[in-house]
Structure 1
Amino acid sequence: MTVHSLDRIKIPVATWAGFHHLGISPQDVVRKAQLPLTILSESVEVTTAQYFAIWSAVSELISDAAVGIIRFISGLNPAQLPPSVLAPYHARDYRDALSRIARYKQLCYPERLHITEDGELCTIELEFLYTEQPEPPILVYLTLASLLQLGRIGSGHRFPAKSVEFSHPNPLGDVEALEDYFGCGIKFGAKNNRLTLHRSDLDRHFVTYNAELLDILVPSLEKSLDDKQRSKSTTEIVKWIIKRSLDGGRPDVQIIAGELGMSERTLQRRLTDEGTSFKHLLSDARREKAREYLADPSLDIKEVAFLLGYEDKSSFYRAFRLWEGDTPSNWRAEQLGITEGRQDMDSFTKDSSLTGMNF
């Protein structure tokens, strides 16, 4: 699997220290994850895949993941938190804290938070970046629980969540303990990992508010974030987002620009300055994903077309002919060494809806 060039994570000291509260050592976790002990050094960065391996190892080393994450969060020492996580604890209110954690968390964790306020509710959906691997359930527990803990510590009130949803189908550990912590019922096998709050709780003033500390931390965090975003080309970032966003839909340039915190015009200008365009990147991303999907013989050609965001099979065939000079079925047959590959093309050319098409 290709590692994305932005997929670099520095594990905070607080994480390694937190394992001691679970009765396990960082060394045991790293060995269980089959990773080199050198990653225990503060200067070493890991990939999302390695980060997932670490938390999967933690889940195997403790007896109850639900109880474990509650113990982990309760034992965290704020003094050991990185500035990107420390700053939100000193925000003006819970809404401000969530905005800051969503913005700065990407400096040290492979996560993106999608926060939506609608009516009386606020939903926070969790997305892990730079990977197509399923995330370890214990890590999802920890992330959503820590977001609620942020509001509770900052405000000094132990308010409940409205609801919690996990995408993995089966509970991991003591569900009652987890429900008691969140203060609400928990749904498993949901479409997304989601924490839903009462919107009124976002107005809770933080007793830990420290404007002077924020004045010190924020400029440095903004510079680090800007440096990280500028360290790689806009082209590379946009192409990765397009690939992630395909899955049966056509990525929208305006939505992607919003994800990057810029206007559509600014995004298009930056891509032009780098000698490309959104349309070109969309085609390029589809081509790369098409080759990947077609290498999987279990996927039908129609299914591949759908996954790439094409409305019909014929549109996909036209695009693929431009990319590779051959049909998808013939290309697959050649790559997989299958002599029967042309059968799909034969049936395709007989489709009355394609009469008159030039290949």
Structure 2
Amino acid sequence: MFQHLLPTAVSSPSAANNRGVLSAAANGLDGFIVQHGGDLDRVFGRSGIDPEHLLHPTLSLPLTNYCKVLEEAARQTGCDNFGLRYGQQFQPKALGLLGYIGLCSPTLEDALINFAEAFPFHQHSTLIELVDQGECYRFDYQVRHGAIHERRQDAELTMGMAMNLVRHVLGPQWAPRQVAFEHARPQDWHEHRDAFHADVQFAQGCNSLLIPKRDVTGHVMPGNDPILLMLIKDAIRQLGDSGSEANMLDRARQTILANLHLGEPALEAVAHDLGLSEWTLQRKLRDLGLSFSQLVDQIRRETALAHLKQQHLSVTQLASLLGYSETSAFSRAFKRWFGTSPRQWRSAATTPAQRV
């Protein structure tokens, strides 16, 4: 049938032009937050999300804000498995164009293929693979955005979305052979096993569903429509046509982040990795309202906060990880960013009411 299908990652020029994630991915999020006792203004405000965007399913939300709103919703509602529960009730048609690409496909097998093929137009900076493993297809998903460190809720939501596409045809009791998540096992992990009716592994290399081929071959999609499918494919490709500047910026961020631990990032080295001249990279960044030093500063600021929250690195180790030759240089930069030292920020952050 096919061997290794759709290894589409952020480096694919045709798949990464969408600057974020289509807001259809947050369909019903406001009501779900309220249902779980959350404060909408607080959740959206802290996440930098404009609720008006959620009314327009083809508008693009920044992926950083999208992942953040799910994490913030989990914190605000006190529901540690927020993404899992949100994903359980998220039906394919609620995903807008991406969902209908699956629903209009001729067979369930085609639906999975088309869903994976279209996903990069729906969401950028993301790995999507449908891998033929003989008896099974493995559906892999992983956010690969350099600034996104907290993404558990998004992973559990997306695995639920993919599962519900299959259950749309095979019924609510269908179960994948195995489910894997890249994050550590949460406290209420039994809820994951009950949701998927399957063995769930944590701390794995990638988020994935293992789907037996015998379950998906030969099953006709009840709403299959070849003409509508063609129109939807064209529409979602057009949505991805937003230019290559955002793709360049994202690749530059990831290059800088991957090499920070080696020391102060050099414009020449980053430009070389991107296949650009120094002048061209500077011009492209300037067109986006950034200088190279501002981009490096921004990445260091975001990464510092993410690691300080996790408590597992000392300030000295973090300074080295961010490419500073001396801890004092990192401390001065941190005070410039937040008006306090890294140690003071970490101490205050242990008390929720004092968190910056």
Partner of 2:317: 298
Q: Distance in 2 between matches of 1:55 and 1:166?
A: 16
Partner of 1:212: 227
RMSD: 4.5
Q: Distance in 2 between matches of 1:69 and 1:179?
A: 14
Q: Distance in 1 between matches of 2:120 and 2:256?
A: 19
* 1:1-359 aligned within 5 A: 7-12=19-24, 15-21=26-32, 23-24=34-35, 28-33=39-44, 34-35=46-47, 38-41=50-53, 42=55, 45-66=60-81, 68-69=82-83, 71-73=85-87, 75-76=89-90, 80-110=94-124, 111-156=126-171, 158-173=173-188, 175-205=189-219, 206-225=221-240, 227-228=241-242, 230-232=243-245, 239=252, 280=275, 298=317, 332=325, 336=329
8 A Cα contact 2:118 2:233, kept in partner: no
8 A Cα contact 2:183 2:202, kept in partner: yes
8 A Cα contact 1:49 1:131, kept in partner: no
Q: Which secondary structure state, in structure 1, belongs to the residue aligned with residue 195 of structure 2? A: helix
Query: Which runs of 5 or more structure 1 residues have no equivalent in the other structure?
Result: 249-275, 305-327, 338-359
Q: State the shift of 1:283 in Å.
A: 11
Q: State the shift of 1:150 in Å.
A: 0.7
8 A Cα contact 1:19 1:26, kept in partner: no
Q: Distance in 2 between matches of 1:112 and 1:64?
A: 27
Q: TM-score, normalised by structure 2?
A: 0.60
8 A Cα contact 1:113 1:127, kept in partner: yes
RCO comparison, higher one (Cα < 8 Å, 6+): 2
Q: State the shift of 1:143 in Å.
A: 0.7
1:108–1:336 distance in 2 versus 1, CA, 3 Å: same
1:97–1:73 distance in 2 versus 1, CA, 3 Å: same
How many positions carry a matched residue from both structures? Answer: 275
Q: TM-score, normalised by structure 1?
A: 0.59
Q: State the shift of 1:209 in Å.
A: 1.9
Bigger Cα Rg: 1
Q: State the shift of 1:30 in Å.
A: 4.5
Q: Which secondary structure state, in structure 2, belongs to the residue aligned with residue 170 of structure 1? A: coil
Residue 245 of structure 2 aligns with an amino acid whose one-letter code is K
8 A Cα contact 2:87 2:158, kept in partner: no
8 A Cα contact 2:146 2:257, kept in partner: no
The percent identity for this pair of structures is 14
8 A Cα contact 2:37 2:77, kept in partner: no
Q: Distance in 1 between matches of 2:49 and 2:159?
A: 28
1:236–1:184 distance in 2 versus 1, CA, 3 Å: same
